[in-house]
Amino acid sequence: MVRGKRIRQNFKNRNHAEAERSSLEIMALQVASGLHHVGTTLTDAQVRQAESVFAKIKDMPRSLDFYVDYALANHKELDSQKLLSEAKEAYILQREDDEKKNRLAKITLGAIKCHMDKLVKMFPTLRVAELDVEKIIRFCEDGGVCAVTHNHRRTTLSKFLKFAIEKDWIATSPIDKVPRYGAAHGRGTAPTLTTEQAKKLMEHLETYENGKLVPFYALALFAGIRPYGEMYKLPIEAVNLENGVIHIDPKVSKVGMKRHITIQPNLAAWLKAYPLDKHPIIVPSLTKHRTAINKEFGLGHDILRHTFISMHVGKFRSMGDTALQAGNSESIIRKHYYAVKSRQESKDFFKIAPQKQDSLSEAVEVKPSKNSAKAVVPSLLELPSAA
């Protein structure tokens, strides 16, 4: 009986009859188990794979043809063989285009190039798909760098790997498993230079390549202009020695808000001794020069600006006016800069003058700006006298 039908057939001999019976029994077993005998050009392995696929979509609303057509139209094969060196070149071209279209600051582009060059130098034969967590951490921590530099390198790689995903070089990014560190300041206090350290730094800068770096460091140290971003966008005309004010336009400001910085007498002396029309703020290969100077004097990230803010609030005893000139909030000034410097040290700091000029006789003592008077009054009441 096969499928409920009785089959009767005559054979020439018993052997033929046994063979036919075996064939019918196999057919009966196939019917019972849901198997079918089908002629096909597929190999056994392909048949097994087809059966597996049908089993996966048996409860799906669409046909196998639909899902195959969709996959063929939308799936892109990863280029897992893409070399890191080749990927870096493509990424840099993209970021250079962003810089031309004012979507990326020139200094940021320079930092990206520096980080990517270092990455390729560390792993010259590596493929993008082979850049794992262990290698990324090695790169970020190479040279025993501080937390800020570690985080800068991590940020660069995070954006590079996102670019790699868009280009189908990798499917996922391992960057989330790479730690980001907080730049700790002991007891909430920002790191600063002492007045003596600041004096030695400026004395050295006057002897370094004819004082070419003096304007950059003087503006950062005695006006608190952010070395990254703001300094690179600051036009010369924003520094008005006649009015004694530096105007930070919203396009220059890191936080997108304008502010006025009072030019202290000693800063006026530095800018007269090294005028900006003859000594530009941004000189060729500035990053290279700054790296050498910062290494020699152990200058960390934003320490010049931190020093200015601490000395300003130490001398003028006004968190409100300091906040306005630094482009911070009073709460930030209180948390990180209040009571860091004594009044006497702060006064001595703002007397650091260039060797080119014998005295500050032409400079006039500058008081906190009138624009910040409302902020100054309550701050003066709440601050105790200097120790």
Does residue 279 lie in a domain region? Answer: yes
Does residue 298 lie in a domain region? Answer: yes
Q: Are residues 273 and 129 in the same domain?
A: no
From 74, 97, 124, give the residue that closes a domain: 74
From 143, 162, 184, give the residue that closes a domain: 184
Residues 228, 230, 233, 235, CA torsion sign: negative
> Of the ranges 60-74, 335-349, 356-370, which one carries the lowest mean pLDDT score?
356-370
Q: Are residues 113 and 42 in the same domain?
A: no
Which of 74-88, 341-355, 368-382 ranks highest by mean pLDDT? Answer: 341-355
Q: Are residues 303 and 193 in the same domain?
A: yes
From 184, 214, 240, give the residue that closes a domain: 184
Q: Are residues 361 and 212 in the same domain?
A: yes
What is the bridge-based pairing of β-strands 259-262 and 245-248? Answer: antiparallel
Range of the domain at 361: 189-382
Does residue 8 lie in a domain region? Answer: no
Residue 381, pLDDT score: 32
Quote the CA–CA distance of 259 and 372 in Å, as a whole number: 11
CATH of residue 226: 1.10.443
Does residue 1 lie in a domain region? Answer: no
Does residue 127 lie in a domain region? Answer: yes
Segment 98-149, tens digit of pLDDT:
988 888 878 788 889 999 999 999 999 999 999 999 999 999 999 888 888 8
Mean pLDDT of the 336-345 span: 90
Q: Are residues 205 and 178 in the same domain?
A: no
Q: Are residues 279 and 206 in the same domain?
A: yes
Amino acid identity, position 337: Y
Does residue 157 lie in a domain region? Answer: yes
Which of 59-73, 181-195, 288-302 ranks highest by mean pLDDT? Answer: 288-302
Q: How far is CA 322 from CA 189, 242, 258, 364, in A?
A: 16, 22, 14, 19
Q: Are residues 221 and 357 in the same domain?
A: yes
Within a 10 A sphere around the Cβ of 151, how many other Cβ atoms?
18
Does residue 151 lie in a domain region? Answer: yes
> Of the ranges 30-39, 97-106, 218-227, 330-339, which one carries the lowest mean pLDDT score?
30-39
Write the DSSP symbol of residue 209. G
Quote the CA–CA distance of 207 and 214 in Å, as a whole number: 10
Q: Are residues 244 and 130 in the same domain?
A: no
Quote the CA–CA distance of 85 and 104 in Å, as a whole number: 22
CA-based nearest residue to 178, from 209, 153, 199: 153
Q: Are residues 140 and 203 in the same domain?
A: no
Quote the CA–CA distance of 119 and 125 in Å, as a whole number: 11
Residue 76 binned pLDDT confidence (cut-offs 50, 70, 90):
low
Q: Are residues 151 and 240 in the same domain?
A: no
Quote the CA–CA distance of 137 and 170 in Å, as a whole number: 18
What is the secondary structure of 283-346 as a DSSP string? -TTHHHHHHHHHHHHT--TTHHHHHHHHHHHHHH--HHHHHHHHT--HHHHHHHTTTSS-HHHH
Does residue 92 lie in a domain region? Answer: yes
When computed from its CA atoms, the radius of gyration of the chain, rounded to whole angstroms, is 36
Reply yes or no on whether the pLDDT at 363 is more than 60.
no
pLDDT mean across residues, the chain: 83
Domains identified in the chain, total number: 3
Segment 189-217, tens digit of pLDDT:
788 999 999 999 999 999 999 999 999 99
Reply yes or no on whether the pLDDT at 254 is more than 90.
no
Q: Are residues 157 and 287 in the same domain?
A: no
Under a CB-based contact definition with an 8 Å cutoff, are residues 239 and 312 in contact?
A: no
CATH of residue 155: 1.10.150
Q: Whole-structure pTM over 0.75, yes or no?
A: no
Q: Are residues 239 and 321 in the same domain?
A: yes
| Structure tokens given for 79 | 């280029």
Residue 159, pLDDT score: 96
